Chains A and B, each alone.
Chain A
Amino acid sequence: MVPTITADEFEELFRATARDVLSYLRRRSSGDVDDLLAEVYAVAWRRRPDLPAPPLRRAWLFGVARTLLLADGRRQRRDRELVGQLAVRPERAVERTRTEGTAAVLAAALERLSRHDREVLRLVAWEGLTPAELAVALGVRPGTARVRLHRARQALASDPDVRALIEEPEPTGTVATHLASGLGRP
């Protein structure tokens, strides 16, 4: 097997992306993710012949991280015998954003989505992936990724509580402020 990336190039990739990957893991896990971060790059090094073109590598790493989070969630679920835990343990991430008003409504709406729809929306909105990068992260064709994104968006937008947020914004300080100011827009 011929390596497609040298050790120096891999270190560059690590230093260029590790912060984003670590933040990605922290947004989705309540535990110590240092081990997972190292595992993401250990897997990436082992699978270096599979690395995509440089512009898509960050997204590819998110895909590796997502797979490891799922496996970690399954392992923890087995270990702790906690019935009903979701594999990627998104509850804690949701809890962090759960404040009064808009965020609480959206968090609840996200929880009502399927795990896959929820992750598609997060990858695009939180990690800033383009549809092409989303395809790499999900390991699907670009057309499939676009369809999944479209469906996930439609599912969230159709949630009655989200519709209410959009159509009947609350007064200053809650929804109206968010929508008018566009705060947090990347």
Chain B
Amino acid sequence: MHRTPWTDAHDRLMVAAKPAVPEPSAAEIERCWARLAPTVEGPGRPRRSRRARIRVGIAAGIGAAVLGTSGLAAAELYTAHTGKGPVDAEDLRLGGPGEKLAVAAPDFGRVVAEETTDIPFPTAESRALALRQQVEDARGAATDEFVSTGALRAWVADAALCSWSNQWAAATRSHHETARAQAIRQIQAAPTWPAVTAIDPDPYSRMESQEVDDGNGNTTTEQYRDESQFYYLGALGEAVEGDTPGVVARVLAQNNGYCRPSLVPDLPNANANFLHTVQ
């Protein structure tokens, strides 16, 4: 057989024949790591507290525990999907609607991504950041920890609003009217997002009163502010009509309170309350 030497031209032919495949996205890589992390990290790795973020059900004036336990055995944990929903009205009110997802399951990150695809984000990068936060929070979770899809979607919607607010701030400063108008539209439409209406169809913030027994037979009436999960949306929608980033940041910091710094680089004060609460 005739032998032909290998030349640079052959190298170029081979390279030209390299199939074009989709560039792996950050979300794909995070989903994969979320599946691996329980194996690699084991149960001992420190896990960031979700305490400050658990707000579903706060309308009842109770610090609702979205994460709960059930009788599912660890051996059954192959996927985050459990097919189980709230067991009663109390469970629904405190834990949120939807399927209970197993937080420690290896595909938790993928499931979160799938469950939240309809929530709009300004960019793929900001979506990936928000999803990564959910995955990071899930690290080291026990096998009997569950979270409802309703609560997860609410948290991701919060993160989306942080991202849109950040776009609004950057666009307002740079006088980029198109980007600013887009951010305003999204923020003001947020009360209609399915992820929002499922948890909080009619956001409110109002003063309520309750009878308090001091233990000595004396009963007094106390006033307290009752706020629904997305009670800050009205104030946020009004704030973005203006052109003062500080006002928007204050609404987020005081009301939402947990915009992660990576989501609001152009609105750093928006996460002040989160940092104060967690650290």
Residues of A participating in the B interface, judged by any CB pair closer than 8 Å: 7, 10-11, 14-15, 18-19, 22-23, 26-27, 34, 37-38, 41-42, 45, 93-94, 96-97, 102-103, 106-107, 110, 121-122, 124-126, 150, 153-154, 156-158, 162-163, 165-166, 178-179, 182-186
Contact = CB atoms under 8 A, between A and B. Distances in A.
B15 A184 contact: yes
B21 to A, nearest CB: 4
Given A23-B24, A178-B13, A186-B15, A158 B3 contact: yes
Given A42-B36, A126-B18, 17 more contacts: A14-B32, A14-B33, A22-B28, A23-B23, A34-B28, A94-B19, A96-B19, A96-B20, A106-B14, A106-B16, A106-B17, A110-B17, A156-B6, A157-B6, A166-B9, A184-B12, A185-B11
Interface of B: 1-7, 9-24, 28-29, 31-33, 35-37, 39-42, 45, 106, 110
B21 A162 contact: no
Contacts of B41: 7
Contact of A38 (B5, B9, B32): B32
B24 A38 contact: no
A125 B1 CA distance: 25
A26 B28 CA distance: 13
Contacts of B37: 11
Contacts of B6: 150, 153-154, 156-157
A56 B75 CA distance: 37
Nearest to B8: A182
Contacts of B1: 158
Contacts of A96: 19-21
A45 to B, nearest CB: 5
B40 A45 contact: yes
Contacts of A23: 21, 23-24
B131 to A, nearest CB: 15
A11 B31 CA distance: 13
18 contacts: A7-B40, A15-B29, A18-B33, A19-B23, A26-B22, A102-B17, A103-B16, A106-B17, A110-B17, A125-B18, A157-B7, A166-B9, A166-B10, A183-B12, A184-B15, A184-B16, A185-B11, A186-B15
Contact of A166 (B7, B23, B36): B7
A7 B36 contact: no
Contacts of A22: 24, 28-29, 32
